[in-house]
Chain A
Amino acid sequence: METEKEHRTKSVIHARHLTRIYKMGDSEVVGIDDVNLDIAPGELVVLKGDSGSGKSTLLSLIAGLDRPTHGHLTVADHDLTDTTSSGLTYFRRAVVGMVFQSFNLMPTLSVLENACLPGLLAGNPPDRIKSKAMELLDWLGLSARMNHLPAQLSGGEMQRTAIARALINDPEIILADEPTGNLDSRNGRIVVELFAQLNHKWNRTVMIATHSNIADSAATVTVCLKDGKIDGQPCDI
């Protein structure tokens, strides 16, 4: 039998009894409830569930955007349960890359500048960051749009810019929250294909939270959430 320590060593994401409870006035809302999860490096995990099932809560804990109320969470050997604020900042810069449903690009920065942003925030040399961003944008088919502002891009282009931004610091894990939610089906498929490439060719761990089936074919692991708990049954969305 594998020990807990061996589990933790093998897993890139290791959660035990993970619970997040939100205070809403006098009442409490359980975001996720006693979740145990182990994800091996190099998996493409599709996190599925209905609205309110806890997908986003779990993703925000794994991304270091929030802290659990109870339980234990280790991501890429970083213990997120007890990490300091600056430790979490380092974690978000170096370990994970985030992609959002609404792209969340900085409206006043160009495509290239948006892609460079996490690298610059991490204090990396601007020239090196810039050339890397250009490579990424070239790979993502955005070379011609580098100097455009987000408002001048299509939804698909905005999401590809967001992917470039997520990759700029070479994170071990890419986390995507409903990345196809604001895209048409063609662009949605392109984005899923990009995540699949990142997983297969670049060997990154990718976790996509979605309520649709668009990423099912690319998934190596599917985790279903229902009412804040991991549901052992096949996902039925």
Chain B
Amino acid sequence: MRHIGFFFRFFIRFSLRNMKKHLGRALTVLLGIALGAAVFTSVRLSIHAALDSFTQSMDVIAGSADRVLVQPGGRVPEEWVSKLLKFSAVREVSPVLTTYVRLAGKQSEPFLLIGIDPLMDRGFHKWQILQHANQDGKSWLELIQKPSSLIIGKSLAEKYALGRGDHVFIESTRQTDEFNIVGILSPGGLAAAEGGMIGLTDIATFQEFTRLYGWVDRIDIKFEPNAESKDIDKFRKMLPDNLRLGPPSAAKESGQGLIRSYQLNLSILSFASLFVGMFLVYSLVALNAASRRRELAILRAVGASPYLLFMVFLAEGALFGVLGWLTALPISTILVKYLLKGVSRTISLLFVKVHVETLSLSPWEILLSFAVTVFTSSVSALQPAWEAMQVPPNEALEISRHGRMRKTSVRKLLIVGVGCLVLVVPLSLLPKILNMPLPGYLAILLLFTGFSLLAPWGLQRTGHALSPILHRFAGIPAYLAGRYVRDSGTRTAVSVGALITAVALFASLVIMIHSFRSTVELWADQTVSGDVFVAAKMGQINQFRYPISPAVVMGLKEFKNRADLVPSRRFYLRYNRFPYEFELLYLKNFFLHGDFVWLKGNPDRVRTLLTQGKGVVISEVFSNRTGLTVGDIFRARIQSSRVSLPVLGIIRDYRTQGGVVFYSLSQFNTRYHDVQWSGCRIFIKDRTHDHEAAVMSVKNDIVKRWGDKLDIVSGNDLRKTILKVFDETFAITTVLLLIALGIAALGIATTLTVLVLERTKQLNTLYAVGAGFGQIRSMILWEAAFMAVVGEVAGVLCGFILSYILVYVINRQSFGWTFLYAVDWRALAMSLPLIILAALAAAYPAVKMVFRESPATLLREN
């Protein structure tokens, strides 16, 4: 205890007073760390809130069932409700129907309508109605007693100013009906589902509204408490082939998996800001250790142990972490508001629908961000702390070594750096661990570390090679700057390392996003081809579970003279636990106008076989997730049919909610069972005349006839929407990237300022021997330019390697897809000079620092 007390007193006197003396530097580093910590904390909290909201929503919708009975790609006949109750192992059952609907007459946000039997469901879902003074507390009975009764969630009620007794018109895929609101759900239980944007109705009302007489989406089952697993297995075996008994949490788990992958990737990206901030801490602690070397020697001479000095500098790093994290809190509160909105929108657009109303402050997330910040700051201080403990006491007597830090061998750093880089490739080739691309992330860390360790060597070689040339063309300031960076060792290299990291992230993300976007564009043009797309109203949000009515299909067929029709049917299924879409397409017409983006398999051969129904093509995501590849057999249960077909080819596909398997619609109808259309693409036959006008004419005709029954969109608009969603998805990434670049600029500003302060005597000497103010300032700018150019060149090189890892390792292991590698030379050519300019601008505070002390102080050193 006495030792700890002494250590704190010593730390306050030795370190804190020194920090107070150089408050500007300390505050800059603190700002850098705080920004990094704020970004990391905000990203984690935002995604955690989305994950929490999703999980809570899924949990309350799933209820307390032990198992659910479903039909893959279809619905369960309602008669199974009574059949199930006859099994001795089954204690309770509850039929459930769900669909997304919206208020009619306005472009309102869809909300989830749940149909239950209020009596049978009481043991499964918790929900209550807000009680009013004039109510008898039994208004839930009204759901059964009064037809078209509806109870709604609080958010829905508040959003559209609805209350008990109000009448609303609600439209579903099939029709629009009037409902009578009999109550508002009180908080807790089902009220928390979908952020309160729900409606609850009796199952009979639901069936009447959706025309699903005699069908339910699922039946929730509770077994007898004494039922053993063998009883449940026995029960499972008695079920018909087309029905599946599954866990209630399957949808939750796959949704959580997608959000967690997104969380991991965004966390890693946000950690980059913290990683760049590490360089700032290293820079300042190393400066303190170097500039106070004589003090350290004196301390050692009067009895301080090397361990004490080590701990003091380590504590400096840790203190920056703690204070940086605390400073990050107010920044996080601002940042999290933006991120929460962006993150939940992105998750909703890409993966699963989430409603995040409030931020849940997870103690675990807060502890994690604190621990990561303090740990990274402390790690940054390790090397300077180690240097400090190596100072021998006899240095106190050596005047000539005063203030001189022992230089780290550039060669040693080069060897370690190359060693790190050599490990990058084998690590990238390793499979993921714990369902996460951990070896890939480790490879990225080693890539950054390797390039950062190469920075001193890069500066040395660049200074050596360029300073004579620059001397000739840019004069003595450029020459002196080159010579300085050549010999400055690790000090200058630290901020170059930070810049390398930030530029590498920038370049790699520019390349990755461009590759991704151009591949998605190609995919959208070829695979999402079509002049007009029609689907059952709200088909997409309801996973195309409501086919287009036969009457409308008949009407659409009348367009055959003017257009080629490509009808389709989509089933949302699971392969083991992996969600995917089984899509049936009328391939004969599809291949007339569009194509897949082929990855494996001979396209000409596969097209023929596919059209003949002799196999399926699977998406890259499906292949990577399930392990199926060309030649393997794809097996699935689709409604009443059991499908077993060879995989003919692998294609690129970028739908975000899992994989996709394509098969011929006409062959499916012939070989298995007749399925209805869930959508149809329309290609105008005559493509020679005014094509746009022809498209508009067809679209307008369809809108006029079935505008109330179909969602209709032109192909161009659909493809534009896909790219808009894509661009919105990467908006957050861009913000995080800019923050990382900003921290790197802070790094350059700090390093150059520190270097100027450290070299006050040298700069004054230059002045004394005839250098003008302009020449010295020009020299500082040239130093910044050297650092910026070396940082940028190495950063771009590192970025190219990183982009390969991101495209072919991280994306493949996280999301299952890769892209066609394409470099956005234009964006790089336009932005990289801007980064150099930003780095030069960061030199401004350093330039201002020159001659803060009068050159005459040179003569007053005694």
Contact = CB atoms under 8 A, between A and B. Distances in A.
For A101, A102, A118, A169, the residue with the greatest tally of chain B CB atoms inside 10 Å of its CB is: A102
Contact of A65 (B480, B488, B773, B858): B858
B481 to A, nearest CB: 10
Interface string A44-79: 000000010000110110010110000000000000
A113 B765 CA distance: 14
Nearest to B479: A120
Contact of A104 (B479, B488, B858): B858
Interface stretch (A92-100, A134-142, A186-194, A195-203): A92-100
14 contacts: A51-B862, A57-B860, A59-B859, A60-B855, A60-B856, A65-B767, A92-B767, A102-B761, A106-B483, A107-B487, A108-B486, A117-B769, A126-B471, A178-B862
A121 interface: yes
B480 to A, nearest CB: 8
Interface string B751-795: 000000000011001111111110100000000000000000000
A122 interface: yes
Interface string A176-218: 0110011000000000000000000000000001000000000
Contacts of B480: 106, 109
B492 to A, nearest CB: 11
Nearest to B476: A120
Given A89-B770, A93-B770, A98-B768, 4 more contacts: A57-B856, A100-B858, A104-B858, A121-B771
B769 A118 contact: yes
A118 B486 CA distance: 21
B506 interface: no
A102 B859 CA distance: 10
Interface string A109-128: 10001000110111100100
B134 interface: no
Nearest to B771: A121
A27 interface: no
Contact of B854 (A66, A108, A121): A66
A25 to B, nearest CB: 16
A233 interface: no
Contacts of A51: 862
Given A104-B762, A108-B488, A181-B862, A65 B769 contact: no
A86 interface: yes
A165 B769 contact: yes
B768 A63 contact: yes
Contacts of A97: 769
B425 to A, nearest CB: 37
Nearest to A61: B856
Contacts of B471: 120, 126
A121 B769 contact: yes
B761 to A, nearest CB: 7
B654 interface: no
B862 A121 contact: no
Contacts of B769: 92-93, 97-98, 117-118, 121, 165-166
Interface string B461-484: 000000000010001100110011
Given A121-B770, A126-B471, A108 B487 contact: yes
A126 B483 CA distance: 16
A118 B770 CA distance: 6
Interface residues of B, number: 32
Interface of A: 51, 56-57, 59-60, 63, 65-66, 85-86, 89, 92-94, 97-98, 100-102, 104, 106-109, 113, 117-118, 120-123, 126, 155, 165-166, 169, 177-178, 181-182, 209
A100 B487 contact: no
Given A108-B483, A169-B770, A60 B476 contact: no
A113 B480 CA distance: 10
B770 A109 contact: no
For A63, A93, A100, A165, the residue with the greatest tally of chain B CB atoms inside 10 Å of its CB is: A100
A122 B768 contact: no
B493 to A, nearest CB: 14
A106 B765 contact: yes
Nearest to A158: B400
A57 B854 CA distance: 12
B433 interface: no
A63 B471 CA distance: 27
B363 to A, nearest CB: 50
Contacts of A65: 767-768, 854-856, 858-859
A60 B775 CA distance: 21
B765 A104 contact: yes
A89 B767 CA distance: 8
Contact of A102 (B483, B772, B861): B861
Contacts of A121: 476, 766, 769-772, 775
B4 interface: no
A100 B859 contact: yes
B399 interface: yes
B855 A106 contact: no
A94 B766 CA distance: 14
A195 to B, nearest CB: 17
Contacts of B486: 108
A56 B860 contact: yes
A86 B486 CA distance: 30
Given A92-B767, A100-B765, A182-B399, A86 B772 contact: yes
A49 to B, nearest CB: 12
A73 to B, nearest CB: 14
Contact of A106 (B400, B762, B770, B861): B762
B770 A92 contact: yes
Contacts of B476: 117, 120-121, 123
A85 B773 contact: yes
Nearest to B463: A108
A167 B856 CA distance: 20
Contacts of A113: 483
Nearest to A178: B862
B859 A177 contact: yes
A10 B554 CA distance: 117
Contacts of A126: 471
Contacts of A122: 770
Query: Which 9 A-B pairs have CB atoms at the shortest separation, nearest pair first?
Result: A93-B770, A56-B859, A108-B487, A60-B856, A66-B856, A89-B772, A104-B765, A118-B769, A118-B770
Contacts of B483: 106, 108-109, 113
A231 B484 CA distance: 45
A188 B714 CA distance: 92
A101 B856 contact: no
Contacts of A177: 858-859
A184 to B, nearest CB: 12
A28 B421 CA distance: 60
A109 B767 CA distance: 16
B485 to A, nearest CB: 9
Contacts of B487: 107-108
Interface in B73-127: none
A220 to B, nearest CB: 22
A98 B769 CA distance: 7
B287 to A, nearest CB: 17
A98 B859 CA distance: 10
B724 to A, nearest CB: 54
B584 to A, nearest CB: 73
B767 to A, nearest CB: 7
Contacts of B479: 120
Interface in B838-862: 854-856, 858-862
Contacts of A165: 769
Nearest to A209: B859
Contacts of A85: 772-773
A122 B770 CA distance: 7
A97 B475 CA distance: 22
A157 to B, nearest CB: 12
Contacts of A109: 480, 483
B350 to A, nearest CB: 53
A40 to B, nearest CB: 24
B778 to A, nearest CB: 11
